[in-house]
């Protein structure tokens, strides 16, 4: 299906839903082309961050369409509305103001900023601008249309992933100021990813006139807006467009030679160009190890470079230098080898991942995941990340001795993924396909969107050593032939795009499509969503579930969500739901089952739901947040954090021992605070 057709379907769907008779032409969606390498500054590339306070207003017209009818992008926002608001970018817009209609806004929200083009970007050679200038959004949730100086630039459907376009032809030269307008739409419906539901309430005795209700799927708050960085960057016209790396190694009597296979595509090269590739070990300042490789002339190249005495990328607790990263430096030069056209530094790690019937192997060593399901969710900022929270989360993961997390339920910011690579935290990288349930959610239109999202995600994260597995969906309904056919197509697509990583999806039920999963990832809340309060059933049921999965499918099995809600500071003896005490007991009962399963040899990991409390939509059974975090939303520990730390230290220690490393034993006594009581072991 072409981008145009997909686009017109989207246009009809979204305006159909909002009841408008106006079918407006929006900028066509960009097809998946180009590498879209993460913008990094090098000697040939520079970046201008457009973050800051932007102008903002929402279109509250009855059919939510007047901003489009009146073409708000043609004039400064302030000329279209009574008053404009200030809005930080990046940030979700929902929790910034004191206004409920903005917190819950559904429809078109308008952003505007102005900027000047750096003068040297517009320098010309033979009358033509000599640089390529790109406007990039790291994520806008959910649908974005972009205009520059009143001209259509691009549109994109789907949050959490970057999109960009070349904009030289739309730019004004300084001192004239450029006006950037972005319209964001957060309407979710049966054909969005994730889906939502949308209904009109015709009974005016009970609802205001023209009232609609939009409920996104899931119990995480529906944050929207320009929630990641907006960047302008420039490259030369001859530039490196994409790099794909896959790594392996030879181990001859402990002597490791790394093999870095790479594909590079360059744009604008001619036979007058060469490309140099080198692997740089930046861990030794002053004497960086540079291993140079092949040269290429024009177009694409597929080759490999060997790294003698290579240091492998390992997760935490499997090496004394976890997260070891090299730099793959790609340089385009002229035929003499002297004049540099473009240079890009790609961080890479050398490692392999493979699954057997019972094991998850990293560098051929069994890996046991002990970590968390997370959310991008923070006070006030919603889904916008910042370096402060990012680092706090990683320091907490270090403190608690986690070695992994899942990007539940959507791709996380690249800044987070960078830290995971660097610290040796293994990531299960999840797409936004959460909660596909009704037949409509498996419609061919959604399938096309899902394939596109997987392409975008793999394009973005394919070179990250920290990403050890793809999760294609969370808790989809699997009981129908159409869902089996749907997932067959998605799995085939992902496997064709990336042959180096296992692919799976997170399950909460059995069904034919589970057959496609390389690893069984299962969510279940014994003692919480079933048999609530009956602690004595938890370990038995968890063991029964997970061992049944293994018997059924004969492949590695792990738990990706289990847990219980706890309001920080709330205690009762005996414990009761929502107390910290009950959360501790639920976790401990589940962990008894994990120990038994682990001993049976096919259980490869445990992830708690959730790392931290997170905001929910208004729900009847809890005050404001989902309280299943072992940390509060402000990242303070609950009592359960000490239980988990106790366990994760021991799991880390076991991993170190299995790797023949000096263990954490000397640290353990000091680190442990929570000593589990000797309860009756029901298993």
Largest CA distance in the chain: 83
With contact defined as beta carbons under 8 Å apart, do 567 and 613 qualify?
no
Report the nearest approach of ligand GCB to the CB of residue 353 (Å): 24
- Pairing status of strand 404-406 against strand 426-430: parallel
Restricted to residues 396-435, the positions that interact with ligand GCB (CB under 6 A) are 409
Interface residue with ligand GCB, options 218, 258, 466, 605 (CB under 6 A): 218
Report the nearest approach of ligand GCB to the CB of residue 615 (Å): 11
For ligand GCB, the closer CB: 474 or 575: 474
CA separation for the pair 107, 445 (Å, rounded): 21
Q: At a CB cut-off of 8 Å and minimum separation 6, what does 531 contact?
A: 537, 538, 541
For ligand GCB, the closer CB: 575 or 616: 616
With contact defined as beta carbons under 8 Å apart, do 407 and 374 qualify?
yes
Q: Enter the DSSP assignment of 293.
A: E
628 near ligand GCB, rule: CB under 6 A: yes
Alpha helices (H) along 409-503? 414-423, 444-461, 481-497
For ligand GCB, the closer CB: 80 or 625: 625
Restricted to residues 473-502, the positions that interact with ligand GCB (CB under 6 A) are 474-475
Report the nearest approach of ligand GCB to the CB of residue 426 (Å): 20
For ligand GCB, the closer CB: 430 or 581: 430
With contact defined as beta carbons under 8 Å apart, do 438 and 478 qualify?
no
Report the nearest approach of ligand GCB to the CB of residue 375 (Å): 8
In 3-state terms, what secondary structure has residue 236? strand
Closest CA to 407 of 187, 607, 559, 678: 607
For ligand GCB, the closer CB: 59 or 475: 475
For ligand GCB, the closer CB: 409 or 647: 409
Task: Count residues binding ligand GCB (CB under 6 A).
Answer: 10
Q: Enter the DSSP assignment of 682.
A: -
Report the nearest approach of ligand GCB to the CB of residue 228 (Å): 21
Report the nearest approach of ligand GCB to the CB of residue 432 (Å): 12
* Catalytic-labelled residue, pool 112, 414, 475, 606: 475
For ligand GCB, the closer CB: 248 or 508: 508
Report the nearest approach of ligand GCB to the CB of residue 189 (Å): 19
Interface residue with ligand GCB, options 561, 580, 589, 613 (CB under 6 A): 561
Report the nearest approach of ligand GCB to the CB of residue 126 (Å): 56
With contact defined as beta carbons under 8 Å apart, do 593 and 536 qualify?
no
Closest CA to 567 of 588, 553, 546, 581: 581
Q: At a CB cut-off of 8 Å and minimum separation 6, what does 363 contact?
A: 249, 312, 314, 318, 351, 352
Does the annotation count 138 as an active-site position?
A: no
- Number of Cα atoms under 13 Å in the Cβ half of residue 328: 30
Alpha helices (H) along 300-382? none
Helix, strand, coil percentages, rounded to 5, for the chain: 25, 30, 45
Report the nearest approach of ligand GCB to the CB of residue 642 (Å): 21
For ligand GCB, the closer CB: 189 or 375: 375
For ligand GCB, the closer CB: 483 or 610: 610
Task: Determine if the peptide bond prior to 175 is cis (ω within 30°).
Answer: yes
CA separation for the pair 141, 158 (Å, rounded): 6
Report the nearest approach of ligand GCB to the CB of residue 508 (Å): 6
360 near ligand GCB, rule: CB under 6 A: no
Report the nearest approach of ligand GCB to the CB of residue 408 (Å): 6
Interface residue with ligand GCB, options 99, 199, 204, 219 (CB under 6 A): 219
For ligand GCB, the closer CB: 262 or 631: 631
With contact defined as beta carbons under 8 Å apart, do 429 and 501 qualify?
no
Report the nearest approach of ligand GCB to the CB of residue 227 (Å): 18
What Cα–Cα distance (Å) separates residue 23 from each residue in 68, 197, 213? 10, 21, 22
Closest CA to 428 of 367, 362, 369: 369
- Pairing status of strand 557-561 against strand 603-609: parallel
Q: Enter the DSSP assignment of 225.
A: B
For ligand GCB, the closer CB: 531 or 595: 531
Interface residue with ligand GCB, options 234, 626, 653, 656 (CB under 6 A): 626
For ligand GCB, the closer CB: 246 or 613: 613
Closest CA to 563 of 614, 506, 622, 629: 629
For ligand GCB, the closer CB: 29 or 475: 475
- Pairing status of strand 360-362 against strand 557-561: unpaired
Q: At a CB cut-off of 8 Å and minimum separation 6, what does 432 contact?
A: 158, 159, 160, 193, 194, 409, 410, 411, 453
> Which sign does the torsion angle of CA 392, 397, 403, 409 carry?
negative
Interface residue with ligand GCB, options 609, 611, 642, 648 (CB under 6 A): 609
- Pairing status of strand 143-148 against strand 178-185: antiparallel
Q: At a CB cut-off of 8 Å and minimum separation 6, what does 17 contact?
A: 187, 189, 198
State the virtual CA torsion across 357, 362, 366, 368 in degrees, nearest 10: -100
Interface residue with ligand GCB, options 273, 523, 541, 640 (CB under 6 A): 523
With contact defined as beta carbons under 8 Å apart, do 516 and 487 qualify?
yes
Report the nearest approach of ligand GCB to the CB of residue 569 (Å): 20
With contact defined as beta carbons under 8 Å apart, do 182 and 223 qualify?
no
> Which sign does the torsion angle of CA 39, 42, 44, 47 carry?
positive
User: Which active-site residues does the annotation give?
Assistant: 475
Site residues, ligand GCB (CB under 6 A): 218-219, 409, 474-475, 523, 561, 609, 626, 628
């Amino acid at each position: 299906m072409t981008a145009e057709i997909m686009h017109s379907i989207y246009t009809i769907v979204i305006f159909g839903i909002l009841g408008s008779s106006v079918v407006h032409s929006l900028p066509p969606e960009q097809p998946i082309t180009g590498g879209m390498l993460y913008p990094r500054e090098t000697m040939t590339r520079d970046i201008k961050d457009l973050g800051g306070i932007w102008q903002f207003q929402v279109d509250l017209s009855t059919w939510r369409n007047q901003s489009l009818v009146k073409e708000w992008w043609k004039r400064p926002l302030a000329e279209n509305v009574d008053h404009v608001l200030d809005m930080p970018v990046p940030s979700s817009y929902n929790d910034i103001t004191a206004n409920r209609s903005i917190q819950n806004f559904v429809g078109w929200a308008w952003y505007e900023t102005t900027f000047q083009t750096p003068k040297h970007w517009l320098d010309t050679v033979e009358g033509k601008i000599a640089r390529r200038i790109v406007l990039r959004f790291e994520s806008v949730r959910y649908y974005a249309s972009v205009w520059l100086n009143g001209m259509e630039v691009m549109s994109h459907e789907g949050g959490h992933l970057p999109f960009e376009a070349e904009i030289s032809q739309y730019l004004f030269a300084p001192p004239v100021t450029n006006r950037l307008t972005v319209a964001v739409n957060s309407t979710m419906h049966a054909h969005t990813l994730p889906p939502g539901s949308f209904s009109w309430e015709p009974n005016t005795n009970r609802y205001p006139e023209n009232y609609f209700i939009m409920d996104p799927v899931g119990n995480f708050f529906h944050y929207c807006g320009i929630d990641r960085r907006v960047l302008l960057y420039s490259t030369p016209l001859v530039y490196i467009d994409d790099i794909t790396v896959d790594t392996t190694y030879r181990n001859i009597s402990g002597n490791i030679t790394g093999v870095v296979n790479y594909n590079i595509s360059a744009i604008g090269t001619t036979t007058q160009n060469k490309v140099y590739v080198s692997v740089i070990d930046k861990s030794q300042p002053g004497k960086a190890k540079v291993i140079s490789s092949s040269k290429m002339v024009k177009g694409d190249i597929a080759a490999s470079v060997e790294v003698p005495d290579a240091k492998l990328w390992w997760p935490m607790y499997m090496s004394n230098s976890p997260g070891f990263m090299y730099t793959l430096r790609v340089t385009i030069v002229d035929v003499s080898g002297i004049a540099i056209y473009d240079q890009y530094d790609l961080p890479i790690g050398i490692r392999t991942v493979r699954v057997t019937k019972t094991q998850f192997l990293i560098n051929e060593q069994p890996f046991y995941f002990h970590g968390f399901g997370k959310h991008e969710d923070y006070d006030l900022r919603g889904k916008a990340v910042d370096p402060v929270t990012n680092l706090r989360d990683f320091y907490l993961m270090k403190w608690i001795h986690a070695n992994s997390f899942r990007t539940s339920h959507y791709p996380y910011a690249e800044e987070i993924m960078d830290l995971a690579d660097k610290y040796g935290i293994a990531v299960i990288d999840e797409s936004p396909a959460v909660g596909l349930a009704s037949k409509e959610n498996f419609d061919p239109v959604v399938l096309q969107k899902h394939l596109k999202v997987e392409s975008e995600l793999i394009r973005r994260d394919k070179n990250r050593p920290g990403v050890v597995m793809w999760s294609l969906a969370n808790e989809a309904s699997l009981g129908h032939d159409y869902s089996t056919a749907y997932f067959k197509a998605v799995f085939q697509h992902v496997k064709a795009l990336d042959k180096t990583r296992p692919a799976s999806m997170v399950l909460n039920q059995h069904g034919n499509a589970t057959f496609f999963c390389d690893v069984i990832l299962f969510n279940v809340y014994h003692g919480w969503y079933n048999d609530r309060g009956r602690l004595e059933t938890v370990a038995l049921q968890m063991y029964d579930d997970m061992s049944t999965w293994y018997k059924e499918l004969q492949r590695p099995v792990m738990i990706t969500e289990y847990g219980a809600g706890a309001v920080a500071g709330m205690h009762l003896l005996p414990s009761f739901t929502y107390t910290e005490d009950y959360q501790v007991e639920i976790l401990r009962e589940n962990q008894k089952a994990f120990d038994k399963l682990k001993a049976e040899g096919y259980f490869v990991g445990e992830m708690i739901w959730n790392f931290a409390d997170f905001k929910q939509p208004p729900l009847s059974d809890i005050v404001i947040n989902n309280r299943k975090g072992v940390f509060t939303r402000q990242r303070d520990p609950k009592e359960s954090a000490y239980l988990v730390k106790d366990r994760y230290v021991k799991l880390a220690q076991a991993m170190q021992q299995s790797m023949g490393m000096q263990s954490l034993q000397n640290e353990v006594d000091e680190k442990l605070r929570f000593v589990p009581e000797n309860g009756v072991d029901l298993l």
